[in-house]
Amino acid sequence: MTQKTLDWLAAHEADMHALLEALVNTDSNSHDREGVNRVKDQIEAFLTEKGLTTSTTTLGPGGDALHARLASGTGNRPVLMMGHMDTVFPTGEAAKRPFTVEDGIASGPGCADMKAGLVMNAFVMAAFAATGESPVPLHALFTPDEEIGSPASAPVIEAAAADARAVFNSEPGRVSGNVVNGRRGGAFYKVTITGRAAHAGQNPKDGRSAIDELARKTLAWHALPEQDSWDINVNVGLVSGGQSVNTIAPYAECQIDLRYATKEEYEKAEAAIKEIALTCREDGVSATFERLGAFLPMLQTDGSADLTAAYLKSAHDLGQTTQAEFTRSCADSGIASYTGTPTLCATGPRGGKGHSPEEFLDIGTMVPRAQAMALTILRMV
C-alpha cells in the first residue's frame, strides 16, 4: 500500500481546518446566491492553486455549480466526489455563531452538513494532484441547492454521475462514524390558498378564511402516514398568511416535506397530498399546488455493495471501525444512484445534529475519513 497520498493528507490537517473555518464563516443559505458563490470562489481558489482544472456552471438564483477535474491513471470514466455548498441557516448566522473548536469538537453553521465534506473532497483532489498516484481520473462536483431539493442541480448531478465509475457523496458520517448505503427519497411542496377578506368584528361571515382552510389541510396531511402502513413522513414545516389580526385571512401559504421509501409510495403520497391541497371545503376558497424539488431514494445495488465493501475494507485497514447503514433522510446520492452508478454516501467527517444550533463536527476525523476515501481510490483498477 502506497503512503504518499495518505501522508500528504496527514501533513495538511491544519490547512484543512483553516479552509473549513473560512467556509463555515461564510453564510450560504440556499437562497443566498452571493453567499453560496462566495463559498464556491474560496473552494475554486484552493483547487486552482493546487493545480486542478475547474469550471463553473451557472444555475440561476440559488448559486452556481463548481466542477474540478484531475486527468490521471487509465480509462475515461472518473471517480466522482460530490457535496453541496448551501446550508439551511439564514444569512447573518455565521456572524452570530462563528466557527469554533473546543476539545476536538467544531461548531458553527454548516460545519458538518456539509462544509467539512467539501473541504475533505477538495483536499483529496489536491492530494492526488500533488502525488500523481490516482489510478483513475478524478472529478469533484460542488452544488448550490441540496437543502431545497436540488431543483437546479439535479440535471448536473445526474450527468456527472452517469459519466462516472463510482460516486462518493461526502455528507457527514453518522454520529457512530458509519457511512450510508441506502436512503429514503423526499420531496418539497408549496401550497397557496386564496380566501376572501372581511372585517373580523363587523361582518366575519362575509369572509372566507384561508388560514382556517390551511389548518384543516395540515391535519389531513399529517394524518397520511397513518394510512395503509406507508413508510412515509409528511411535515408542514413553514406557514404564513393573513392580512391583519382583525381581518378574516384572504391568503395563506405553506411548504410541505415528504419522505418516502419507494418510488411507488412517492407517487401515491404525492397524489394524496395534492388532492388534499386542491380540495377546499367552502365556496370562495381556492388553492394551488407546486412541487419545489424532489430527491429519489438512494438505491442499494450490486455495484454499490461492491463499492461499500471496498470502502469499508480500506477504512478497517486504516484502523477505523466504520460500518454501513440505511438512513431515513435523503440526499443528492439518490440522484446519483438512479443513474446506475455505484454510489456511497456519508463519507464525510463524523458529525451530527445538523440543521440546529447544536450541530457539531468531530474535527479529528477529517484526515482519517479523507484517507479512507483516498485508499479506496488507490485500490481501484
Interval 21-64: pLDDT, tens: 999 999 999 999 999 999 999 999 999 999 999 999 999 888 99
**Whole-structure pTM over 0.85, yes or no?**
yes
**pLDDT attached to residue 343:** 98
- What CA–CA distance (Å, rounded) separates 195 from 242? 10
Class of domain 185-295: alpha beta
User: How buried is residue 240: exposed, middle or buried, by Cβ count under 10 Å (0-12/13-18/19+)?
Assistant: exposed
> What radius of gyration do the chain's Cα atoms show?
23
- Which residues, in sequence order, are bridge partners of residue 219? none
Q: Would you list the domain boundaries of the chain?
A: 4-184+297-378, 185-295
DSSP 163: T
pLDDT tens, residue by residue, 322-368: 999 999 889 999 999 999 999 999 999 999 999 999 999 999 999 99
What phi and psi, each to the nearest 5 degrees, are found at residue 346? 60, 40
Exposure on the CB side of residue 330, measured as CA atoms within 13 A:
27
Mean pLDDT, rounded, for 202-211: 97
Class of domain 4-184+297-378: alpha beta
- What CA–CA distance (Å, rounded) separates 91 from 35? 8
Sheet architecture: strand order including 360-362: 100-102, 105-107, 360-362, 351-352
**pLDDT attached to residue 74:** 72
Grid cell at residue 231: 413508510
Q: Kind of pairing, strands 179-183 and 100-102? A: unpaired
Contacts of 347 (CB under 8 A, 6+ apart): 117, 168, 169, 170, 171, 173, 179, 311, 369, 372, 373
Contacts of 377 (CB under 8 A, 6+ apart): 79, 124, 128, 134, 135, 136, 138
Q: How many helices (H) and strands (E) does the chain have?
A: 11, 16
- What CA–CA distance (Å, rounded) separates 147 from 33? 13
User: How buried is residue 358: exposed, middle or buried, by Cβ count under 10 Å (0-12/13-18/19+)?
Assistant: exposed
Mean pLDDT, rounded, for 138-147: 97
Residue 45 near residue 77 (C-beta atoms within 8 A): no
Helix axes 302-317, 366-378, angle to 10 degrees: 120
